[in-house]
Amino acid sequence: MRTLGRSVVVVGIQWGDEGKGKIVDLLTERASVVVRFQGGHNAGHTLIIGGEKTVLHLIPSGILRPGVACVVGNGVVLHLPSLLQEIDRLESRGVSVMDRLRISTACPLILPTHIRLDLARETARGRDAIGTTGRGIGPAYEDKVARRALRVSDLFDPQQFGDRLAVAMDLHNFMLERYYGAEPVDIGETRDEWLRLGERIKPAAADTARFLDEQRRGGVSMLFEGAQGALLDVDHGTYPYVTSSNTTAGFAATGTGLGLGAFDYVLGIVKAYTTRVGAGPFPTELFDDMGRHLAKVGAEFGSTTGRPRRCGWFDAVAARRAVLHNGVTGLCVTKLDVLDGLDQLKICTGYRLHGQSVDDLPMLVDRYAHCEPVYEELPGWRASTVGITRQAELPAPARAYLQRIEEILAVPVDMVSTGADRNQNIIVRHPFD
């Protein structure tokens, strides 16, 4: 019997922006295929290699490793102009993309009207806006569920594409004009442009589920990367302040077409503190000098939107819930160095809601917004942790801090990121071992 390749799923277990891109890039040293399985160009993975910064939105992070095949699974919604801009930007730097990229023919397309609808809705909501990125992700997923989405495969039949596009955009334009009072989008121009863009990606279009199954059966190790974070999952996150897709590890199967038995290990990425972009409840958010310190030292600005991230102490209650939903095998703690120099640290170990102790997320988001954090205080450390690659070299309080996270979440810390660069890590146990 052949030895099957090992498959590792990497997911964020906070509200996104946990540093998944760097960790995926690091792990691809041991993987031959990297797969993106959900989300759209609303997500961004930032990688710093040799001091050079690269931000990826749709193309898997493994693209910066020569020879690694990169797959965009069917769970991803595609905005063709953004995808091709990303390809052109990488190839202008000498990175080979098209010869290593495979795009599922089942990927739904994000149309210009999806973006226009997204923006119009947020404007109409006013102070109740959810805080979307305005990139059309939600409306595109809505069309997928409503069975009127156009997919990559439609691009290669011009007549069918034109017919189906007219039906979808007629509805979109009706909503834009009659409900939101916004300008419509020209259907003919969209048809011509998308068909032209489709020709450019045609060489990469593939039956990606078949490809991934063949790779696994051939003994190839694969890495599956999610976008956003588990607490933004449309089913299990802080609804309605969530994204429009399933961000949890289980969607690695649905978003690629593989069965659950194809996955061996789930790595949960978590910051040493907590951040959130956009609206929604955030019990440990800090509005004082400490919050501003974390934002400044951690350079907490969205890699896709540039929006400042809200910062707070580590929320172990929320992270423990995300561990449950993802079946996390091991943790990777990122941005530990941001806590360098602080005299005292705090971990939220519970909440108080209307005077009562709560040890889990309330099921009603309105109640979650009224939760007050209950903190456990730990000593900080003065020494720098930047660039440390051995656990024993960490200051004793830093080791104690990581150990406490392990104890509360009941999951081992297998990796620690001690800086932005590819090589600044502590690896206690490698996910591919």
Catalytic residue numbers?
17, 45
How far apart, in whole angstroms, are the C-alpha atoms of residue 345 and residue 390?
22
Is residue 145 within 8 A of residue 156, CB to CB? The reply is no
Its sign, for the CA torsion 223, 256, 327, 331, is: positive
What would the two tokens of residue 21 be?
Answer: 């891109």
Residue 410 main-chain phi, psi, to 5 deg: 60, 35
Neighbour tally for 175: CB within 10 Å: 18
Q: How far is CA 264 from the centre of its chain?
A: 20
Render the burial of 135-158: b for 16+ CB within 10 Å, e for the rest: bbbbbbbebbeeeebbbbebbeee
Integer angstrom CA distances of residue 250 from 240, 326, 349:
20, 7, 26
How far apart, in whole angstroms, are the C-alpha atoms of residue 36 and residue 252?
8
| Identity at 338, one-letter amino acid code | V
What would the two tokens of residue 37 be?
Answer: 């399985």
Q: Is 418 exposed, middle or buried (0-12, 13-18, 19+ CB in 10 A)?
A: buried
